[in-house]
Structures are given as structure tokens and as C-alpha cells.
């Protein structure tokens, strides 16, 4: 019976150990971007720390193996359990020590986790377990625990509990292993009352944290964004936060501003109308991204447009902008328009599986701050888009800032040209973002900026449009290489450009 309990404990502690690693990687990716870099460095630090912990475990005396195992479970439960909350609050209120604290906590948890399995194996060995059976069982349950949490984390835990509450949950599981070990082996443990008291105290902290996780997250995001948070949710794809200050609504995705309601009309007029004004015959329009419905709002102003298909990955995004009154007011109820068709799917996969053709394609993805987003700015992706636009149709791409991120901006232009599209770069001043960039592209059309608009505009007219297609000396074209999937150079260019701005 005792052997089975120790073996089952390996399943739990393996699950918890991997969960803390995934939480650290996901949280740092949300807050710092570049998911490949974050996960790579965290995994490396964590595995190195496990090796250190495994080495240190040999110094635990044979007569105190179970006692030290209990102590380690309490320590890893406490440190790992509070890690997401501590890291998030640190980033929100005093960002400077975040990176150092991140790797210190990853190393501490990794070292403690590295001690767990060797101690369990020693405890089993003391109970006369055959070596081949010992290794087989321990490693089997270790890997099964890792499999379980690797499936549950992205599908259930992160989207439904959030990173902070998930951390506290796995901390409680570690403490639960400690409590069960104390109960089963109570006759063999020294300082039993002290360990019971510590276990109860740690469990109390973690339970309180689990209950108050939403409040902590709200407090942290208030420090991060400064304004009242009117809506927030963690989805399988991203963290969505909407804030309000007086009459200004702002959307943040993974901490990055997507729009301000005070000036979003500048961005969305510039994104949509230079293209659609030049296509008075356009009947079918495709929007990739744009889950806030604001570009859709502008497109639906054209009576000649009969159908707009919007493909956005996240149903939580389109759902919020379909049902929440303040957001529906902002996008003019565009999702409820009978000419609008909303599809929640990966844009690349959807393009691969459809044979539909469109007169115009509006691409409104978040900036290429990660490799998951960078693929949507790549040669293969634009090649697929080209197949679905009419020969004299137009494609418009949100292309980050040609002033703050010129290398990234001109990389996007080079990528579009690499698939045989004619490009017409332009820019507009949006106060919330500064100078912002877009690129028009067409398979065949010789594009000329419109001198006037059929529809009334708040920002655009003939003069402002002509100025948008002229680049001053400090935003001149750069010769860049296209963004290919195997290198994703755009993500690196984007990170380097914006790092200079932040400094």
C-alpha cells in the first residue's frame, strides 16, 4: 500500500512540476512577447535547476528521506503556487525586476522538483523494491503526469481558470501530496506536529490565493493599464482586457494596445477606405482578424458591398463585441448586420480549405510580436491570400509603424512583393499609436489614391490621402528580406525595432 502511494505521488508531482514550467512560459510570453525565446530560456533554466536539485538530493540522509520529501512538497507548493500571482503583480507595479524574479523563481521550483523523484526512489528502495521495477514504475508515472498536464493546461486550465488561479491549484496539489504522506507515514516522521502546522499554513495561503485570484488579477491589471477594467478574460489564444477612462474605451491583447475609442476612426478609415473607394464594383470583401468589428463597420457603409466575411480565431473576441452594449455601440452593431458572416477559425487553415474569391481583402491582425502571429505575415500566407483576391482587387495589410519599426514595416512590404503583388505603402497619424503604417497590394491593379470619397469621413479627404502615400526622409523605404516561415525574420526585426523605442 505504501509503495502505491509513493508511486501515485510521482504522478501528481510530475504534473505540478510541468504546470509551473508552462505557467512561467505562458506568462512571460503574454507580458514580454517572443514566445519561442521565453519558453526556450525557461525550459533551459528549469531543466538545469532540476539537475542541480537531483544532485543536491544525495546529501539528504537516509533516515530523513520522507521528512525531506514532505518539506520539499510544501516548499514547491508554496513557491510554485504563488509564482504566477507574484510575477504578474511584479510586472504590473514594478516592471524592472520582473525578468530577474522570473528566472529566480523558475530555478527555485526546478531545483525543488529535481529533488522529488530521487527521494521517492530512495524511499521505495528502502522498502525492498526491485531496481528494474522501481525505475520502470517511477518513470512511467512521471511521464504520465507530464502528459496529463500538458493536455489539460492549454485546453482546460489556462482558458477557464487563468494562469494565476491555475498556479494556486497546483500548489494545493503539492501540499495535498505532503499532507497524504504525513498521514500515511506518520509513525516514521520526525517533528510530526511541526510539519502538520506548516502544511496547514501553506494550504491556507494557497486556498486564500485561489479564492482571491480574480481580485489579484484585477488589481494587477489596474496597475498595468491604469484605467478602470470593464471586461477581461483569458482565452485559449490570448488575454483580452478592455478599459475605460471617461469616454475612452481601450482594448488590450496580451497587454498591447489595439485601439482607443477616441481615435480608432483614424486607424479604421485609413485601413478600409483608400482601398474600397477605388473599388466601386466590389461586392464581396474578406476581413482577416478585426474581431472588434470596427473595420467591418466601415466596410458595411458601402451599399455596393453585398457580403463581408470576417475570419477571426477567437470566439471570445467576436462574442464580446457582439453582445456587450458599449462595444456594440462602438462598432455600430456590425456583427448583427445581415451582410456580415463571422467565422471563428485560424485564418491560414480557413484560406487553405476555401475556394471563395473576394474583391478586397482587409488584413487586420495584431502586430507580429510572436512566431504564431509572424506566420500570418509570411510568404506562404500572402501567397494563399493572393489566390483568393480578384486580379484587379486589392489587399490591405495593417503593417505596424514605419517610423518606430521601419525594418519590420519594410519587411512586410518585401514579403508581399515576393509573392508577385504590386505594393503601395502608406501611413497615417493615429494619436494613440503615433505614425502608423499600412500596405495596399494588388495582383494586377495600377492603384491611384482617391482624390475624394463618396462617403462622409471624419479624418480622410483627398489631401490627407495624398499625404499618406508620401513618405518623409525619416521614413524612406528600406531594402529588406521577405519573411519566410523557416526563419521568421519579421519577428526579430519587430522585436529589435520596438526595443529601441522602449529604451
The catalytic site residues sit at 364
Q: Is the dihedral of CA 376, 382, 384, 390 positive or negative?
A: positive
214 is in an annotated binding site: no
238 is in an annotated binding site: yes
Question: How are beta strands 434-442 and 389-398 bridged, if at all?
Answer: antiparallel
| Three-state DSSP string of 42-103 | HHHHHHHHHHHHHHHHHHCCHHHHHHHHHHHHHHHHHHHHHHHHHHHHHHHHCCCCHHHHHH
Q: What residues contact 223, with CB distance under 8 A and at least 6 apart? A: 89, 92, 93
What CA–CA distance (Å, rounded) separates 205 from 47?
27
Helix (H, G, I), strand (E, B) or coil at 421: coil
Q: What residues contact 366, with CB distance under 8 A and at least 6 apart? A: 253, 256, 258, 289, 373
292 is in an annotated binding site: yes
463 is in an annotated binding site: no
What CA–CA distance (Å, rounded) separates 147 from 416?
40
CB atoms < 10 A from the CB of 108, how many? 17
Helix 35-56 and helix 98-126, axial crossing angle in degrees, nearest 10:
40
CA angle 315, 271, 394 (to 5 degrees): 95
The residue count of the chain comes to 503
Q: Is the dihedral of CA 15, 18, 22, 23 positive or negative?
A: positive
Which DSSP string corresponds to 174-213?
HHHHHHHHHHHTTTT-SSHHHHHHHHHHHHHHHHHHHHTH
What CA–CA distance (Å, rounded) separates 402 from 436?
6
Q: Is the dihedral of CA 224, 227, 229, 233 positive or negative?
A: negative
62 is in an annotated binding site: no
452 is in an annotated binding site: no
Helix (H, G, I), strand (E, B) or coil at 436: strand
Binding-site residue ranges for spermidine: 268, 292
Binding residues: 238, 268, 292, 312, 346-347
Binding positions for S-methyl-5'-thioadenosine: 238, 312, 346-347
Amino acid at each position: 500500500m505504501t509503495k502505491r502511494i509513493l508511486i501515485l505521488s510521482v504522478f501528481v508531482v510530475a504534473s505540478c512540476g510541468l504546470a509551473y514550467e508552462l505557467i512561467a512560459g505562458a506568462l512571460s510570453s503574454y507580458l514580454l512577447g517572443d514566445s519561442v525565446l521565453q519558453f526556450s530560456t525557461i525550459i533551459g533554466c528549469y531543466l538545469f535547476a532540476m539537475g542541480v536539485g537531483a544532485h543536491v538530493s544525495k546529501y539528504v540522509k537516509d533516515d530523513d528521506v520522507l521528512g525531506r520529501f514532505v518539506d520539499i512538497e510544501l516548499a514547491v507548493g508554496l513557491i510554485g503556487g504563488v509564482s504566477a500571482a507574484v510575477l504578474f503583480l511584479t510586472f504590473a507595479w514594478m516592471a524592472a525586476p520582473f525578468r530577474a524574479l522570473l528566472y529566480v523563481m523558475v530555478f527555485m521550483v526546478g531545483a525543488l522538483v529535481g529533488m522529488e523523484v530521487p527521494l521517492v526512489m530512495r524511499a521505495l528502495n528502502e522498502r525492498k523494491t526491485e531496481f528494474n521495477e522501481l525505475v520502470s514504475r517511477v518513470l512511467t508515472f512521471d511521464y504520465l503526469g507530464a502528459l496529463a498536464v500538458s493536455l489539460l493546461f492549454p485546453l482546460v486550465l489556462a482558458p477557464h481558470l487563468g494562469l494565476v488561479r491555475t498556479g494556486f491549484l497546483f500548489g494545493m496539489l503539492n501540499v495535498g501530496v505532503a499532507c497524504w504522506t504525513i498521514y500515511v507515514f506518520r509513525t516514521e516522521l520526525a517533528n510530526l506536529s511541526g510539519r502538520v502546522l506548516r502544511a496547514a499554513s501553506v494550504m491556507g495561503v494557497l486556498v486564500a490565493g485561489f479564492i482571491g485570484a480574480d481580485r489579484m488579477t484585477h488589481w494587477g491589471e489596474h496597475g498595468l493599464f491604469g484605467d478602470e477594467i470593464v471586461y477581461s478574460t483569458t482565452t485559449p489564444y490570448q488575454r483580452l482586457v478592455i478599459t475605460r477612462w471617461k469616454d475612452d474605451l481601450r482594448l488590450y491583447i496580451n497587454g498591447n494596445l489595439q485601439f482607443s475609442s477616441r481615435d480608432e476612426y483614424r486607424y479604421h478609415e485609413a485601413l478600409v477606405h483608400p482601398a474600397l473607394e477605388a473599388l466601386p464594383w466590389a461586392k464581396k470583401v474578406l476581413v482577416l482578424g478585426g474581431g472588434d468589428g470596427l473595420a467591418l463597420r466601415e466596410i458595411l457603409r458601402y451599399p455596393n458591398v453585398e457580403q463581408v466575411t470576417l475570419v477571426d480565431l477567437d470566439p471570445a473576441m467576436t462574442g464580446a463585441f457582439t453582445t456587450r452594449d458599449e462595444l456594440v455601440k462602438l462598432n455600430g452593431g456590425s456583427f448583427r448586420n445581415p451582410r456580415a458572416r463571422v467565422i471563428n477559425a485560424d485564418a491560414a487553415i480557413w484560406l487553405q480549405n476555401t475556394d471563395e474569391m473576394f474583391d478586397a481583402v482587409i488584413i487586420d491582425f495584431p502586430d507580429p510580436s510572436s512566431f504564431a502571429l509572424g506566420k500570418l505575415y509570411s510568404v506562404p500566407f500572402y501567397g494563399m491570400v493572393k489566390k483568393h483576391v480578384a486580379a484587379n482587387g486589392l489587399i490591405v495589410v495593417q503593417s505596424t509603424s514605419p517610423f518606430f519599426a521601419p525594418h519590420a514595416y519594410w519587411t512586410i512590404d518585401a514579403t508581399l512583393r515576393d509573392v508577385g503583388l504590386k505594393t503601395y505603402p502608406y501611413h497615417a497619424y493615429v494619436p494613440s499609436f503615433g505614425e502608423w503604417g499600412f500596405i495596399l497590394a494588388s495582383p494586377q491593379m495600377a492603384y491611384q489614391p482617391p482624390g475624394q470619397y463618396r462617403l462622409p469621413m471624419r479624418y480622410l479627404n483627398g489631401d490627407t490621402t495624398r499625404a499618406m502615400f508620401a513618405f518623409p526622409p525619416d521614413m524612406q523605404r528600406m531594402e529588406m528580406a521577405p519573411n519566410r516561415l523557416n526563419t521568421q525574420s519579421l519577428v526579430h526585426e519587430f522585436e529589435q525595432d520596438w526595443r529601441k523605442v522602449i529604451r
